[in-house]
Chain A
């Protein structure tokens, strides 16, 4: 046999062997396990939704690098991103679309604003789809749903944890405990839940007198009337609960304009998003504190650096770290359920004992009957030198808290 004929024969044999082996190889590669991310990636909340996607993508990648779901033949996770839009109605439609378009979804995370999560979870509950959420509102886990799992402390719980810490800090560093407080809040579900808990006895318990309370519908077009109330009330402290960055700018600038120097404590992330620096002078932000459900913290430096390198984010907000952690929670629950069935995953999440929480502040990776993460705490951040850094809890703090001196 001549050399060309031998080569041709060998090639044909190799090709035949390859064709025969192909189905076997395809069979041995497990089908990915779909996890949904329902978050706003269009409209006015597109930016935080995009950051949620960054965290989820990194989480999926790291879980897959670690071998995927061992119990299911090392099946990798696959992220299905669904745009919840920027209104409750759009979020409801998106949830219905998610359930219909992705029948193989086993679980999901979302949906940024509590108002959206409340709407989305109405759909996922009926579809028996487990939904992890960072949203704070107490209502989310207060409806007796079986498929909702709240990784954050609820708004009410956050207020309970945060207020004594804030007042102790003021007393320790200034020698004087604040006596009066003004509240400016938007009327989204999470903000109202926090304020409700404050008014339902928490303020009295910590010795604060409410001198004014203003509720507004976001986004504001002008903050004069709100800040005028602070000027009238002359409080020792301002609690400020916005969910839209533009509202943060309007209030802080109006306070500067009215020459009001009131220590400001926010609840939520709208005052600490990177985009705030596009709109507000960093000097106005210096010292402002915010109680948030989660934040990049001590021990996560490598992860934070990777986020910065890959996506150009200046710091890791709660939206990225939480969806990152959610992927690890899904991995733990899938290893436990060892099934692609939604109901089995829900059951596994309800009885999960994943040990100490690595990507959420405080508590463990275990959920109570209502879906609260057991022992969930919060993070307090503070703008220091143009960056919001974690100052509480001390074990996770990247810097020491400094009481904002007027």
Chain B
């Protein structure tokens, strides 16, 4: 291959890898944006909800996914099956804990309850991490599917130029996009979506209009938990995980949400996608060990040049 072809292949491969992994990042960012955008809760436990989603998908895979659907399709069925369970978990978490420091309950609290929210979600994160370590052990596991090391081969072009499209990542990206579209339609076209938007825009006025804001918040929290958990389940085929894996992703989630524009659900998806692309493309020109640092340099640049993020308007929410 000529130097130009080698460079072209590397760039195309990086773009493809960035898009696929970015779609999964985008999905986990959307989960956080649902909670952050609608409830204005800075949730430190979001990474740990993802971790629980990974374990839920793992146990669903081991329990029935692999036997009923095979190791290839079973991994995705398991991730999808874990999502409703995690919705219920998020719903219960809001009902029992989060509502005490959010919505109408936070009226009169210092800084509108934000301090209490930070401490509460940090506490939940610590309990989930250490509880998972006691329950599941410290060792790493992953959903073992042949798709994680298999690729669709595109090419060869020219003197052997080719692209390898990871099968597990492609399916995961497709599921992510489908979920985002479904969520967008739900928010825009359904009564539930209207109540979520209303609760996000003006909770007080929503109450006067007969909307159960507490219920809307609970739904948003459940959805946010389930979506991030689904992203974790989709990632679990390619990425071995352990009880502390959430810490590795929670910063990516926040960066994605801020990049996309705080409060914008679709913006959060594009923010996650951007992080995936920057991560992969930066390795073409910079040492690989600076991959993650590059994300934050890029993040800082966006915050300085466009504080409202790529796709957000200052006043837009959800």
Contacts and interface: CB of A to CB of B under 8 A. Distances in A.
Contact of A46 (B138, B240, B279, B284): B138
A232 B248 CA distance: 30
Contact of A47 (B6, B138, B279): B138
A305 interface: no
Interface in B233-261: 238-242, 244, 248
A275 B151 contact: no
A286 to B, nearest CB: 14
Nearest to A218: B289
A216 B283 CA distance: 10
A279 B13 contact: no
Given A216-B288, A221-B239, A228-B10, A245 B140 contact: yes
Contacts of B166: 257
Interface residues of A, number: 39
A256 interface: yes
Contacts of A50: 138
A226 B140 contact: no
B17 A222 contact: yes
Interface in B139-154: 139-142, 144, 146, 148-151, 153
Given A86-B244, A214-B288, A246-B240, A222 B144 contact: no
Interface residues of B, number: 39
Main secondary structure of the interface of A (DSSP, over half): helix
B288 A222 contact: no
Given A221-B279, A224-B17, A250-B238, A257 B149 contact: yes
B292 A217 contact: yes
Interface string B1-25: 0000010011001100100010000
Contacts of A259: 153, 164
Contacts of A226: 283, 288
Contacts of B228: none
B174 interface: no
B287 interface: yes
A262 to B, nearest CB: 15
Interface string B213-246: 0000000000000000000000000111110100
18 contacts: A41-B138, A42-B138, A187-B289, A216-B288, A217-B288, A222-B238, A222-B279, A222-B280, A226-B283, A228-B9, A245-B240, A246-B142, A257-B150, A258-B164, A275-B139, A275-B240, A278-B141, A279-B140
Given A215-B287, A228-B14, A252-B149, 6 more contacts: A47-B139, A222-B279, A222-B280, A224-B14, A253-B238, A279-B140
Interface of A: 41-44, 46-47, 50, 86, 187, 214-217, 219, 221-222, 224-226, 228, 232, 245-246, 249-250, 252-254, 256-259, 274-275, 278-281, 284
